[in-house]
């Protein structure tokens, strides 16, 4: 499955918003749509797709994705029963952090997705989506797993799954946070 069917469905669904995004931020060769259940109560936000995701046209299907999906499965849910998206839908070259302009360009689409899905819990993976969803100066290691009430939903920040590859001590807390987000 190349993910192209889902890609075109997603792009059609949000065409009004995507059309407003500046051309230089809209490289569809590096674009990866969201995936999952639009009625999900759990909405998961990554940073931006990586090379594997672009190749396969699906979010979180590389090494980080396997860690995420294993943790979801261990918590008792499948990846199809949650909603998985990225803050920035186009892969930044060389795996750099997304620029402010890229985040700003893609944020209206994220907000539209949140409106569509209307989740109870938004799980942010890593520092960058966390900082877009809650106002905090805290480090992720100090506030991961806490719930931030944002009115219509709560935000629960955790580590980026790839961070558990660099620092194994983060894997247990990561899995615990996922369980917390699923159970809530
Ligand atoms: N990392 C992310 O943040 N998003 C993906 O889709 C894959 C890896």
In DSSP terms, 85 is beta-bridged to: 45
Confidence of residue 118 (pLDDT cuts 50, 70, 90): very high
- Residue-wise pLDDT for 139-170, tens only, equals 999 999 999 999 999 999 999 999 999 999 99
- What pLDDT sits at residue 140? 97
Token representation of residue 44 = 């998961």
The whole-chain average pLDDT of the chain stands at 96
Percent of the chain, pLDDT > 90?
93
Ligand 1 pocket test target in 33, 51, 60 with most atoms within 8 Å of CB: 60
The C-alpha atoms of residue 49 and residue 79 are separated, in whole angstroms, by 16
Confidence of residue 3 (pLDDT cuts 50, 70, 90): low
Residue 2 pLDDT exceeds 60: no
Token representation of residue 86 = 């990225």
The C-alpha atoms of residue 121 and residue 26 are separated, in whole angstroms, by 28
Of 81, 132, 128, nearest to 108 by C-alpha is 132
- Residue-wise pLDDT for 23-82, tens only, equals 999 999 999 999 999 999 999 999 999 999 999 999 999 999 999 999 999 999 999 999
Indicate which atom in ligand 1 lies nearest the CA of residue 129.
3
- Give the pLDDT mean for 109-121: 98
Please work out whether the CB of residue 177 comes within 6 Å of at least one atom of ligand 1: no
- Give the pLDDT mean for 110-123: 98
Please work out whether the CB of residue 59 comes within 6 Å of at least one atom of ligand 1: yes
85: phi then psi, degrees, rounded to nearest 5: -140, 175
Cβ-count burial 9-22 (b if 16+ within 10 Å, e if not)? ebeebbeeebeebe
126: exposed, middle or buried (Cβ count in 10 Å: 0-12, 13-18, 19+): buried
């Amino acid at each position: 499955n190349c993910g192209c069917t889902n890609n075109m469905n997603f792009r059609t669904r949000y065409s009004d918003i995507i059309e407003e995004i500046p051309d230089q931020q809209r490289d569809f060769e590096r674009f990866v749509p969201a995936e999952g259940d639009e009625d999900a109560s759990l909405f998961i936000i990554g940073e931006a797709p990586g090379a594997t995701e672009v190749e396969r046209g699906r979010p979180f299907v590389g090494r980080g994705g396997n860690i995420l999906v294993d943790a979801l499965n261990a918590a008792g849910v499948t990846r199809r029963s949650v909603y998985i998206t990225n803050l920035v839908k186009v892969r930044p070259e060389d795996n750099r952090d997304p620029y402010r302009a890229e985040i700003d360009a893609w944020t209206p689409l994220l907000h539209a997705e949140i409106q569509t899905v209307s989740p109870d819990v938004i799980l942010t993976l890593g520092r960058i989506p966390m900082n877009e969803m809650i106002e905090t100066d805290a480090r992720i290691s100090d506030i991961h797993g806490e719930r931030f009430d944002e009115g219509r939903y709560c935000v629960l920040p955790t580590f980026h799954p790839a961070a558990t590859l660099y620092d194994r001590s983060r894997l247990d807390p990561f899995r615990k946070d996922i369980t917390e987000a699923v159970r809530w």
